[in-house]
Amino acid sequence: MATFALCSLNKVGRFTWRQCLVSNLKGSRGSEESSLRQLPGARCFSKTTSFRCMSHGTAGRSAAGRSRRGLLAFGGVAALTAAAVAGLMANGHHFQRAEMATKIPQTADEIEQEGGILERCRGFMSAPITDISVLQERRGEMCTRMEMMIMETQADFCRALQEVDGGTFKVDRWYRKEGGGGISCVMQDGKVFEKAGVNVSVVFGHLTEEAAKQMRSRGKVLKGKDGKLPFCAMGVSSVIHPKSPHIPTVHFNYRYFEIEEEDGSKQWWFGGGTDLTPIYVNKDDAFLFHNTLKEACDKHHPQYYSDFKKWCDRYFYIRHRGETRGIGGIFFDDLDGPSQEEAFSFVKSCAKTVVPCYLPIVYKHLKDPYSAEEKDWQQVRRGRYVEFNLVYDRGVKFGLATPGSRIESILMSLPLTARWEYMHEPAKGTREAEILEVLRNPKEWV
């Protein structure tokens, strides 16, 4: 999971999923109390709080970075594995120069279909990171359209999870003094989910020398002005750890990154994916999950599912164990074609699958009984999940090594509980051995 989390100050707020605080459209964000107003029909309250184990406490709040100016007005986030520009900068395998402009012309029908900015904000978990007035002014720009999409994805997924669990997400807004911020939604110790996190980040600023060096070392030719490379990045990501060993863990991440070079030209790309980590093999669940993703991919290119499924299996591989983290899904990065509009359309299609590819599986297994032995096996498999995230996930590693990173958001992907047993190997012929065989030899599900 890769989320932009370069931040040390945050404010905790609680919102219902039909609530949204927005900034005064004509004013600047001075103090939060004076500049934020309530949308019609919404109720909200804030509450300073803290909670246990890998949740989000408060460290005050900052007015810095709350409104964007100039060319960087639409900074962004990358992957909620949480880690600064990690998921975007650390996951690349290739980088091609983008030929299309950032601003995408829209027809009247397309604008109407996407809906009014203000109206769409009423369904968010919190006010967008960017001022509503700025989003309205620049509604045709890719950064605006992507920010609205990731906010809607967060709200739709949180709403679906709250409905099945009966619990409520805690909404944690944080700001990054260098520019931008994020919204972390976390639900812990629920009836169905032990820990559920859905994060949005929208950050902007300048690439550090170390970050730029890493990108150049992978063949990315970037020319900054006076050693500086302005960037904006944004994304939504989620990791859900259920209580029942018969309900799989799911992870998804969709992000956008943009860099401005010395001559004013911009390079951009999209990345993301969705993957499933079951504790036991269920072929029907695997088919539903993969087929939902395949149908979304097939709308855009017949090779997308096949290529991105293989990429997912390669990426989520625990080398020291010789097994994958789960049964895969799709994973892609550096997507900068065939055009910006078409790439964005593909990412939107993928993001729309997060509810239909997962929630039917959750409902199906809600009342499945399980034994103490099955729960212990779930804990062992969660240990493998932790190993991958801390040892191999490029976003997490980059974030932990980046000064000023928001550690709570980076580690949000970890489960509340896990288990490591010495020399643990399930007996042959058991369901535990069956899933190990699948993880050691990834298979096709559709």
Catalogue the active-site residues.
251
Task: Give the number of other Cβ atoms within 10 Å of residue 69's Cβ.
Answer: 8
Dihedral sign of CA atoms 93, 408, 177, 139 in order: positive
- Is residue 26 classed exposed, middle or buried when 0-12, 13-18 and 19+ CB atoms within 10 A define those classes? exposed
Buried b or exposed e, range 277-309, using 16+ CB within 10 angstroms: bbbbbbeebbebbbebbbebbeebeeebbeebb
Q: Which is it for strands 21-23 and 36-38: parallel, antiparallel or unpaired?
A: antiparallel
Residue spans of beta strands (DSSP E) within 322-395: 323-324, 328-335
Rounded Cα–Cα distance for residues 168 and 125 (Å): 11
- 358: tokens are 């997962």
Locus of tokens 């991958």: 388
Read off the amino acid at residue 285.
D
Packing angle of the helix pair 142-165, 340-351 (nearest 10 deg): 10
